[in-house]
Structure 1
Amino acid sequence: MQCIMQPIARIKEALALNPKGLSITELSDLLGLHRNATAHYLEILQLRGDADAKKSGTAKNFFPVHRMPVSALLHFCLFPAVVLDNRLDVAMVNDPALELLGCTLDVLYGEPATRVPIPLFTAPALAGRYHETLHGKPGTATVRTLLKGRMRSLNVHLLPVVFDTGREGCALVIMDETERQNADAEVHRWQKRYEALAGGMREWAVRLLPDMTILSASESYAAHVGRTIGELAGFRFTPILSPEDRIRIRQVIATLAPERPAAMLEVRTFDAEGRVRREEWEFTGIFSGAGTCKEVHATGRDVTYLRQLEAELGRHRAHLEAMIQERTCEMQDANRDLLRVIAEKEEIERELTFTQFAFDHASDSILLFDRAGFVYKANTTASEILGYSAEAFRTTTVFTINPSITRTAWERMWEDAVPGKKERVASIHRTKSGIIIDVEVSRTFVRFGDTMYFCSIARERSPES
């Protein structure tokens, strides 16, 4: 594994230092790697989303890029996601996206993004950024658009992605911010009401004797209790309070002293319609020279609405904390799944490395030919027996290695080709130096993807056989 990752890391570093791009030949010369190995590592980087390739004339130049594999995005993304291919046609849509957009898959699949009959995709903030995202530049756009008959505020993340085939694409991860913004606006409105209440409130003022007899009161307090100022004089302060709070106020006034002249208390009262109200009062003692409390100056205000706002804000805060906790748990689960996928990928890479090692060190010569008859792949044993280097094999044909096969026979073999059907024959192979070797050949046709290859597994025949 380490022997693969080290060259890949060096290639990534070289691409980072050359943002204008490097060809396979330039990279192999720069890093001292074999050209085929360099091409293989670049293919891995493309599939991982760490490199892009662009044609420059007849050559391909590779550039550093950070792309997310589409399969990983759709597996882990909890938000609505739409994936566009390199032609900017809709290639993949997850279920949350179909739910948000209010349509079925056949409305979107295969359609150019700018022709999808949903205003979101043609919004200027998005449509002008598809190409730059396709070329590797991520971005974020805020869009207000109509979805399912309702105006929504969306935060769209444009992510460069790579398909399992290595082709680049563009993903739109859509976060519906409508509810959050509405909640923020509601909290803001409550905050404004709170500020207006606190800033414009007219406090009540009442002069009391220590036995709670009213001496005088402000107009605001008189209006509050529904009496005139004259009627309040000589009136007891306690009848408008609950029985429990009458006792609490008496106790607070009784504790007033020159060293502790003021105290605050929140009490429960009832308005004219019998509804419970909350009032906040501050009692300040006025003392004689001997330290005896002669009067009490009381200032109060109605804090019922303030307490309601605080309770509302508390509910919003509790809801927000619950959402944060939920999202945190989801992200932790996603991270654990990602670590498991990485471990599985590393195991697959180890198995591929071992498979390549077993192929190269097999005791028999193994050759793969393409339809035209050229050697597609050869193991180390074939190189040792026939005397060809890996580079030389690329220009060598089946007719050179096995002179007993004519082009007519080769075409007939391909016409009757059946993948997996094995045939064992005695034949000959010719080395690079021209020596004819008698061999026993097990041959078959194999298919990889959409391509068929002719596989020849040969071993030298002893003179006795």
Structure 2
Amino acid sequence: MENELDRIKDILKINPKGLTIEEVSKDLSLNRATAAKYLNSLVMSGQADLRELGRAKLFYLSQRLPLTNLLSLASDLILILDKDLFIQEANDSFLSYFSVSKEDIKGRQLEHSSLASYFSKEQFALLKEALDGSGRTFDFRMEKAGETQYFLMKFIPLVFEAGSRAVGIIFEDITEMKRYQVALEERVMERITELVIANNALEKQIQEHLRVQNALKESEENYRRIVETANEGIWVVDPGYNVTFANWKVTDILGYSQDELIGRNAADFLFPEDIQDHESKMHTRIEGNSETYERRFRRKNGSVCWMLVSASPVKDNAGEFRGSFGMMTDITDRKRLESELEQKSKHYELLLQTSTDAIHIIDKNGNLREWNDAFLSHLGYSANEAASLNVKDWDTQLSLNQVRERLESKQVKCIEFETCHHRKDGSLCNVEITATSVTIDGEDMLYASARDITDRKFAEDAIKKANKQVSLLTSITRHDILNQLTMLEGYIGILKKQLGNEKFADLIQKEENVAKTIHSQIVFTRIYQNVGVQPPQWKQVKDCISSVLATANTGDITIVIETGNLEIYADLLIEKVFFNLIENALRHGERVTEIHVSYRRTGKEVVLAFEDNGIGIPGQDKERIFTRGFGKNTGYGLFLAREILAITGITIKETGKVGKGARFEMTISECAYRFGNSSTE
């Protein structure tokens, strides 16, 4: 494998502009899959780079400066860390400035070295990001020997020759650079003076000048390499705004090659409507001012690219303007998110204002903070008047303490309740409130939606009154019918005694049976008339069964209740259901000695079970027992039980086995059961 990798690197050296997988495969007589594997291996190890041109992928050797050359050529303070942030190298400038020896720090993890105090926690975190390719630059100030010195501290992603990741930290001493420039000018002046005074020193001065010039050239090349590998877009324009330099990041962002960028005017990459502002910014640069701003660029494919531009003027030694230096960060994704958030905000505002419900937001002091048009219409206030309203001005029942309790409890997800609102004109209206807690700008508030239910409340009251009248009428009518049936049954009894003819006796018996059937049906209507009349309530199962047992004659039968603090949402006649289930076990179970009541969870539902150890119910009767009129007694008990349970969506079925006992299972949905506060559920 090493031999093949060397062959691929050799052919990539010959073709610095890059080769495709097919070209490498063809030139080295390798199959395409093998060539692709080796090329990707070189990219992963950092020895090669990949660039996509359309659908084609070009591979070329990475152009990185060897670590030893970097340390020997750089005048900055340089520290090299491996992927675990262990110190691997430091140049002499670094060691001297921080007064440490290489033996003291090399091989130590930066966080546990004597240098740790110079780095913040955030910078340690960003060092790890730099290992993943995200370089950073920081301003760094240090007090030393009574003087303040300024640095640019740069985190630069690196790759060792073996392919492992590393990070370089460069301290660019700006103060020393200025001093060096001044010293250099003084030295040149001294050399010129000496040249006039002593002609014999001319050759020596020329050689010194060449040495300094070469050093500066090498330093420039070093800085250029750093700029080329920076993760931020960097370009330089001349006084005519023509591009004179652009690093790889700029070409990557805009989609142009360096040849296509160099020499073109910066305005060529902008949209026409942005040109005027661009020229204004360049004028600011000519005046010697730096600034940071957002700019929209046009990529080669015509698409929009947003950049955060940090631009500074470039001047020569005489202070003349020579162009502008710009660092650019691609913020296209951020701008897109900002645009989407703005659109969503407008959408939600439209929903708020077009809602027919009176939507409003109040703070912990009850002050009205936000509202929609429907809220103003609901109460009859203007927007100016609403700005000074407090909840006590319109709600006759909700107190300020209740508002604070709901906010401070941190448990308000969504609550519904009814209250009464006082309008500006003095009228009252019943409303249904849906409220939840929200946090706006760090402040807890109550978001509420009010719906006028005055007409519904009037209708409910009317229905209640009508039901009351109907109930009274049916009660009187039933009483009169029962009185007449009693008289009829008495007359039938007299006829049975006076008529001895068997022919008439059979007819009289049938009449008596009909009268009894009518009697039982009338009694049933007395029980059933109250089903659903009152709204359902939360009932604790254990308490309901205990109430039933207090009036039922269970004899020696053992009743086991294992329902904990289970509560169900059911009609007020739920106790009648439990009574019928227990009575059926006592009446029809024949050999029942124990009745067991329990529950179990099945997914989001709860199954409440009543079971006994009697004779059980035959398979053909398991469904028929719930039909009206079936059974040996009245025939209405289980029919009535199913109807009462159905009011709140509870279903019931019989699942016992013949010979082992009856088992009635009631399935309760998640919205119709809960557990009391003392429960451990």
TM tier relative to shorter chain: 0.3 to 0.5
Greater relative contact order, per chain length (Cα 8 Å cut-off, separation 6+): 1
Structure whose CA Rg is larger: 2
**TM-score, normalization by structure 1:** 0.37
